[in-house]
A and B are shown apart, each in its own frame.
Chain A
Amino acid sequence: MAKNNLAYVRTEIVPESPAPNLSKGILGWMKNNLFSSISNTIMTILGALFLMWVLPPIYGFLFGNAVWPGEGVTVEDCRAKGAGACWAYIDDRMTFFIYGFFPKDAYWVTQEGFIASIMQYWRVNAVFAVGTLLIVPLMWPDLKYKLLNSILFFVVYPVFVFYMLTGGVFGLEEVPTVKWGGLTVTLIIGLVGIVVSLPLGIILALGRQSKMPIIKSFCIMFIEVWRAVPLITVLFMASVMLPLFMPVGMTIDKLLRALVGVSLFSAAYMAEVVRGGLQALPKGQSEAAASLGLNYWKSMGFIILPQALKHVIPGIVNSFIALFKDTSLVAIVGIFDLLRATQIANLNLDWASKNQAISGYIFAAAIFWLFCFGMSRYSIMMERRLDTGHKN
């Protein structure tokens, strides 16, 4: 009789072995992702045909047949039959795209060469250079002196920018904000909006969860009113309605009004993003903080906000990106941001050709894309960095 013995004791450990070959390498990837079934194979072939149909003309327009700046390149080349994008026009108008109507420096305009071309707009360029020098170390995670860096960037730098651009002191020519334009204005509105809306949004989100009824209802009202109104309406109200309520002779700078409008508008959105993060945290975190004797602000500052904000980095950056692109709406109240500057330049008859406007718009879109893509990548990097491997 065969003995049916169920008892079993393992005597040796099964060694680790490598995964089968077909699941690795390029071939494995292609087999899994492109040709895993008949329908997938058909879709892959159709997709490849579509790309072969679409890519060459796009390449031709953007690069192959494009008119690049160079010696003796004129508008006639852009008007030639079969010419692609007119990059020579972009190059010719580059200073307008970047600086708008900002006046050139009287001395350097008489000089020639590369240095002179930079020094003609040295005031704006200095603002760009100092800003880059401050913001790069600020965003570089491992560098020290973050506090000093923050003070310089958030307190000293705005003052520097203000005097550098408006002038009127230290012998600088006074430049009213209506002459500011192009990428300069886009960056100013975008950066101010981002820097103001995040802390304001955090305060609004905390206020909305407050137990104090007046603070709570004020925050709810603020958020709901600003979120329920289109940004265009806000900008129109700021530029058309506000002056009607002002005393005669008193004006507030148009750019300043737009800055305040954009900042408050995105703060309301930011508040809801942050609130989402606060709600995602388990109640145990604030209870643990309280039971250790941390008061409300310490608990928020050390325990709750660092985690809540980390959770909503994608949402925050989403808001930043939306805000940066929405800055182009200020064009409707007569502020010359990058997009408006592009539109104006496109009307220029010196470069009138079939592809003038589309070249301008592609350029503006590329600039916007560059900044937004940068923000997106940076946020992904920060998310990975801050991940401490806990799904709490």
Chain B
Amino acid sequence: MTKQTQTAVKKPTAVDENADVAIEIIGMNKWFGDFHVLRDIDLKVMKGERIVIAGPSGSGKSTLIRCINRLEEHQQGQIIVDGTELTSDIKKIDEVRREVGMVFQHFNLFPHLSILENCTLAPIWVRGVPKAEAEETAMHYLERVKIPEQALKYPGQLSGGQQQRVAIARSLCMNPQIMLFDEPTSALDPEMIKEVLDVMVSLAEDGMTMLVVTHEMGFARQVANQVVFMDQGQIVEQNNPEDFFSNPQHERTKEFLSQILH
């Protein structure tokens, strides 16, 4: 596994105690058929907080963050995002999705649209932003992820790392309050992981509320306020990164960390 380079990144400041709640999950349960994937999940994320969710594959961490913008439906409990509770009400789901950006493991760029069109489609057709303004915003975020020169190319012409950076820019163009990352570096060549992590670190420095499912423990150490460790659909341990890595409490956590940190 690739170690996050310890550049001189300023450690994001601790979150204000009185900050607003961004996401609140209360007693949430989910089943796939008879399989109980998520069990009694309770999680509170404050605005500006950066949570890293770790755990073995099949532990339900991806499903958890997919529930937050209702790509998966939960059957029990409550998920409240930015004051809006997720129910089967389509309007509320769309409202939440407009405010929550998501970055996928396999980028999921739209291959039939140019990079610029990928970034402007949603602002134009969901937010009603004029085309010129949307393009300006898109170019701003493409510069931020350091690939403005690729704007007129198609996703198929870009490397994996570039595509993932475009995917991040595409989400940012909707000006989201919260960003969800579902294993953003797992499908990348080792040489390209850093360029994506760098973008995520700079987002964190700007105070974006982030939920990141990842195996990049270096990233977790560097930017997370909290690390959540999941196994078999449950939150097994949750702590700040220093204590989580140096002094894990639960047996399962110790076993997991000994497997991946060597």
Contacts and interface: CB of A to CB of B under 8 A. Distances in A.
Interface string B91-119: 00010011011101010111110000000
Interface in B106-147: 106, 108-112, 121-122, 125-126
Interface in B143-164: 154-157
Interface stretch (A168-176, A213-221, A242-250, A383-391): A383-391
Interface in A373-391: 386, 388-391
Interface of A: 282, 284-285, 287-295, 298, 302-303, 306-307, 310, 386, 388-392
B81 to A, nearest CB: 13
A386 B97 contact: no
Given A284-B104, A292-B170, A306-B112, A391 B97 contact: no
B126 A293 contact: yes
B171 interface: yes
Contact of B156 (A284, A290, A292, A392): A392
B154 A293 contact: no
10 contacts: A282-B108, A284-B108, A287-B71, A287-B108, A288-B102, A291-B102, A302-B121, A302-B125, A307-B111, A388-B112
B174 interface: yes
A134 B161 CA distance: 46
Given A291-B97, A295-B94, A285 B156 contact: no
A303 B110 CA distance: 7
B69 interface: yes
Contacts of A303: 110
A289 B174 CA distance: 12
A307 B102 contact: no
A316 B121 CA distance: 27
A110 to B, nearest CB: 58
Contacts of B111: 307, 388, 390, 392
Contacts of A290: 69, 71, 97
Interface class of chain A by DSSP: helix
A291 B68 CA distance: 10
Nearest to A285: B108
Given A388-B156, A392-B156, A298 B125 contact: yes
A392 B163 CA distance: 13
A390 B154 contact: yes
A292 B71 contact: no
Contacts of A386: 112
A293 B108 contact: no
B156 A390 contact: yes
Contacts of B102: 288, 291
Contacts of B90: 295
A362 to B, nearest CB: 43
A388 to B, nearest CB: 4
Contacts of A307: 110-112
B110 A389 contact: no
Shortest 3 CB-CB contacts between residues of A and residues of B: A390-B156, A390-B111, A288-B108
Contacts of B100: 291
Contacts of A302: 121, 125
Interface string B62-95: 0000000101000000000000000000100010
A292 B127 CA distance: 10
